[in-house]
């Protein structure tokens, strides 16, 4: 029997609750296949600072790099907002991504038929939406040098090199080959030299994927088109800051941030996490929606471990639970037949996954 070594980083707020439900579903689906999991809990975020004085202990980096995949909950909260920037949970997460070399952030946005009315947009606009934002994660303006501030001026530098653009472009085109074979590269090439390089390099990489249709779009237009006609998109390829903004915008097409997963991958080990935050205001109440984290576990099976059948089983179990009218509190207003706790929803999906 294959055994996969999984690093669990539960983090802060609702992180432990939602990770526990993802583990429940992973263990359930593993029982149907010839593999098992060996979990190791590691610290990152506010809880890591409270225990060790560092939001990212070196042990977490080392053990994560020695794992087959990382399943991550959420970090942060007002409790730690007054700390120096380098001590805040978010700084630990940025360092973690850099240390692991996870340069590609995959953010699917899918509108479930059962929840089409949950979106703030008209059903005829969002029904059938199924897109993937591929965001470059460890370059661009968040990491560029020089950067700094004084009482008069603050500045950051947006930098991309040809190899950085090439590797994220290849990721997007490979993903598109297994989808609808369309890539829309988003930039600001009309005013930014770095974006013109981005556009030129992406165009060159596209020649290696003749089956994939490539288009280019300025980021301001892309933000508008995501609302006007989101179904036109299959794979959106973009840089760090544009991807940060557009992926959050795309996530709201579904109606709840509690539904959508993400993956951060590179040449080492991948990190799989829900797109939402730690929600400390509802932590411990048993009302958090675990679906995004369970879907992240499915992405881990699919993209990191190659267990596609098991991933399909989890995805189908989520759809079945929603089709049967099971909802957590955030979705209670949308055709709910039964409002479930966090743990109950995890158990329902786990049960469907093994039927």
Q: Is 55 left (phi over 0), alpha (psi -120 to 50) or beta?
A: alpha
SS3 260: coil
Distance CA 251, CA 247 (A): 6
Tell which residue, 160, 194, 182, has the closest CA to residue 231: 182
182: burial class by Cβ within 10 Å (0-12, 13-18, 19+)? middle
38 is catalytic: no
188 is catalytic: yes
Q: Nearest-5° angle of CA 247, CA 75, CA 10?
A: 110
**What tokens does 84 get?**
């120096």
248 is catalytic: yes
Phi and psi angles of residue 40, each rounded to the nearest 5 degrees, phi first: -135, 125
Rounded-to-10 torsion of CA 136, 176, 268, 16: 80
Q: List the catalytic residue out of 188, 303, 329, 330.
A: 188
Q: List the catalytic residue out of 187, 234, 244, 315.
A: 244
Distance CA 198, CA 159 (A): 10
220 is catalytic: yes
Q: List the catalytic residue out of 220, 229, 267, 281.
A: 220
Q: List the catalytic residue out of 20, 130, 248, 335.
A: 248
**What tokens does 6 get?**
């999984």
Q: List the catalytic residue out of 33, 39, 142, 218.
A: 142
Distance CA 341, CA 136 (A): 35
- Tell me which residues are annotated as active site: 142, 188, 220, 244, 248
């Amino acid at each position: 029997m294959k055994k996969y070594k999984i690093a669990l980083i539960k983090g802060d707020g609702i992180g432990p609750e939602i990770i526990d439900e993802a583990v429940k579903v992973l263990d359930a689906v593993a029982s149907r296949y010839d593999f098992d999991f060996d979990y190791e809990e590691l610290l990152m975020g506010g809880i890591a600072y409270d225990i060790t004085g560092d939001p990212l202990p070196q042990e977490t980096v080392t053990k994560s790099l020695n794992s087959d995949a990382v399943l991550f909950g959420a970090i942060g909260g007002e409790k730690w907002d007054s700390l120096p920037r380098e001590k805040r949970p978010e700084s630990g997460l940025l360092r973690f991504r850099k240390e692991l070399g996870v340069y590609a952030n995959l953010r699917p946005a899918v509108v479930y038929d059962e929840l089409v009315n949950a979106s703030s947009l008209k059903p005829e606009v969002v029904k059938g939406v199924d897109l993937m934002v591929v965001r470059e994660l460890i370059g661009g303006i968040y990491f560029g040098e020089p950067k700094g501030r004084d009482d008069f001026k603050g500045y950051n530098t947006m930098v991309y090199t040809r190899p950085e653009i090439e590797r994220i472009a290849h990721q997007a085109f490979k993903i598109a080959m297994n989808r609808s074979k369309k890539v829309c590269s988003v930039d600001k090439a009309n005013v930014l030299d770095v974006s013109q390089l981005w556009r030129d390099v992406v165009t060159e990489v596209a020649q290696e994927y003749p089956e994939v249709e490539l288009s280019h779009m300025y980021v301001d237009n892309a933000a508008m088109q995501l609302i006007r006609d989101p179904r036109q998109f299959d794979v959106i390829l973009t840089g760090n800051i544009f991807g940060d903004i557009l992926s959050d915008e795309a996530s709201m097409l579904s109606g709840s941030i509690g539904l959508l997963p993400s993956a951060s991958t590179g040449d080492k080990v991948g990190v799989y996490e829900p797109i939402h935050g730690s929600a400390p205001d509802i932590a411990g109440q048993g009302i958090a929606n675990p679906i995004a984290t369970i879907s992240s576990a499915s992405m881990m099976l699919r993209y990191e471990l190659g267990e596609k059948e098991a991933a399909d089983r989890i995805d189908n179990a989520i759809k079945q639970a929603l089709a049967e009218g099971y909802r957590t509190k955030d979705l209670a207003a949308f055709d709910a037949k039964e409002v479930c706790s966090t743990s109950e929803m995890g158990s329902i999906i786990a049960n469907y996954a093994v039927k």
